[in-house]
């Protein structure tokens, strides 16, 4: 006789194969008695699979509501991980937004109620910033459980308590999750002042209990992605830099991906690129790819790194 887990999968396969089975038919196909069939059906129901009892002279079983697909056997973090991938696929791969949305809708319909609620919360509270063709040295690991908890807090208007980078203790009211450049940000109002901030999810350590429910005061204009881009350009990286460029703001903007940073006008021939990254190396690569003359005077670590690069490139050239 096959084991219980394998038998449950076999039972699911049979139920999907045709509309209705009687208990004796299932027992015969699985090599078990009718009493074990009833117990296995109860196990499937406990797992969230909609196995309906069919009334009649012979009785029987059928799967789902008029042939609806059964819930997927996904753990919480697995369901959230799939939802994360489908939620941002449109931003990551142009042309697939509609397909990703349809696939996510199908996933939601096939999940048990508990997971359906978590995945739906993630979809409804998430948006993606513009795609960036650049790459970073190392992308942070996405914690699916944390994303699910943040999405639920946004949906339920539940305040957050968490430790942020360098141990800062924060209480905030979350309004939106934004995915950008392989990172996730929670856009929230800080307590008690209500200032808007974008918190990197991989730098957050949630504390329980939370900070209590809040009355929603959405961002004016509702463009949470644009807010994240502005915040990250000035505060959201480990390394920040203001690069003076010998070119107009329009010329710099024409040469960069808008996700690299923010460009400020100085005069008709000069501008400042406010940018950053998680490493000195990435900042140096970005500014070097401008193809324009630029000047670096801070931070000191970046100045030293660019100086080392210039000497390394000079040594790489053949003698005059």
Q: Report residue 58's pLDDT band, with 50, 70 and 90 as the boundaries.
A: low
> For position 44, what pLDDT does the model report?
84
Residue 22 and residue 59 in contact, taking contact as beta carbons nearer than 8 Å: yes
How many domains does the structure of the chain reveal? 3
> Do the domain assignments include residue 69?
no
**Each residue's pLDDT tens digit, 184-211:** 899 999 999 999 999 999 999 999 888 9
Pair (229, 243) in one structural domain: no
> Do the domain assignments include residue 71?
no
Cα 265 from Cα 243, distance rounded (Å): 12
Find the domain containing 36 and state its range: 4-63
Q: Report residue 140's pLDDT band, with 50, 70 and 90 as the boundaries.
A: low
Pair (220, 277) in one structural domain: no
Pair (229, 85) in one structural domain: yes
Q: What is the CATH number of the domain that holds 49?
A: 1.10.10.10
Pair (115, 200) in one structural domain: yes
> Do the domain assignments include residue 70?
no
Pair (223, 300) in one structural domain: no
Q: Kindly state the average pLDDT of the residues 58-82.
A: 65
Coil, strand or helix at 242: strand
> Do the domain assignments include residue 142?
yes
Q: Kindly state the average pLDDT of the residues 80-88.
A: 69
Cα 302 from Cα 282, distance rounded (Å): 10
Cα 143 from Cα 165, distance rounded (Å): 16
Cα 240 from Cα 279, distance rounded (Å): 9
pTM over 0.85: no
Which of 24-28, 29-33, 245-249, 277-281 shows the lowest per-residue confidence on average (mean pLDDT)? 277-281
Q: What is the CATH number of the domain that holds 298?
A: 3.30.70.250
Pair (178, 296) in one structural domain: no
> Do the domain assignments include residue 68?
no
Which phi and psi (to 5°) does residue 215 adopt? Answer: -90, 125
Residue 67 confidence (pLDDT) above 50: no
> For position 72, what pLDDT does the model report?
56
> For position 232, what pLDDT does the model report?
72
Pair (158, 25) in one structural domain: no
> For position 125, what pLDDT does the model report?
82
Which parts of the chain fold into alpha helices (H)? Answer: 4-17, 23-30, 34-46, 76-92, 97-110, 113-124, 144-156, 224-234, 249-255, 280-288, 300-316
Residue 53 Rama label (left phi>0; alpha psi -120 to 50; beta): beta
Question: What token pair was written down for 281?
Answer: 């190396």
Among the candidates 186, 215, 233, a domain finishes at 233
Cα 228 from Cα 93, distance rounded (Å): 21
Pair (248, 225) in one structural domain: no
Pair (36, 102) in one structural domain: no
Pair (213, 129) in one structural domain: yes
Pair (97, 209) in one structural domain: yes
Q: Report residue 56's pLDDT band, with 50, 70 and 90 as the boundaries.
A: low
């Amino acid at each position: 006789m096959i084991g219980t887990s394998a038998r449950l999968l076999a039972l699911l396969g049979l139920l999907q194969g045709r509309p209705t089975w009687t208990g004796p038919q299932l027992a015969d196909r699985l090599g078990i008695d009718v009493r074990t069939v009833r117990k296995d059906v109860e196990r499937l129901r406990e797992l969230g699979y909609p196995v309906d009892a069919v009334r009649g002279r012979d009785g029987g079983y059928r799967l789902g509501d008029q042939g609806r697909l059964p819930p997927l056997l996904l753990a919480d973090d697995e369901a959230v991980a799939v939802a994360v991938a489908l939620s941002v696929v449109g931003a990551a791969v142009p042309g697939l937004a509609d397909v990703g949305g349809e696939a996510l809708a199908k996933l939601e319909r096939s999940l048990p109620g508990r997971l359906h609620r978590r995945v739906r919360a993630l979809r409804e509270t998430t948006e993606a910033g513009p795609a960036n063709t650049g790459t970073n040295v190392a992308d942070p690991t996405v914690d699916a459980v944390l994303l699910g908890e943040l999405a639920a807090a946004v949906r339920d208007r539940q305040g957050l308590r968490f430790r942020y980078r360098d141990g800062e203790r924060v209480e905030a009211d979350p309004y939106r999750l934004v995915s950008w450049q392989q990172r996730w940000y929670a856009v929230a109002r800080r307590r008690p002042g209500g200032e808007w901030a974008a918190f990197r999810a991989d730098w957050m350590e949630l504390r329980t209990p939370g900070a209590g429910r809040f009355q929603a005061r959405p961002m004016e204009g509702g463009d949470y992605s644009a807010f994240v881009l502005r915040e990250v350009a000035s505060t959201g990286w480990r390394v920040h830099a203001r690069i003076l460029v010998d070119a107009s703001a329009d010329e710099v903007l024409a040469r960069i991906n808008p996700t690299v940073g923010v460009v400020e006008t100085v005069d008709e021939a000069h501008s400042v690129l406010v940018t950053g990254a998680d490493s000195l190396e990435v900042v140096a690569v970005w500014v070097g790819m401008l193809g324009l003359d630029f000047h670096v005077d801070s931070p000191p670590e970046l100045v030293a790194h660019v100086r080392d690069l210039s000497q390394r490139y000079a040594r790489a050239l053949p003698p005059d």
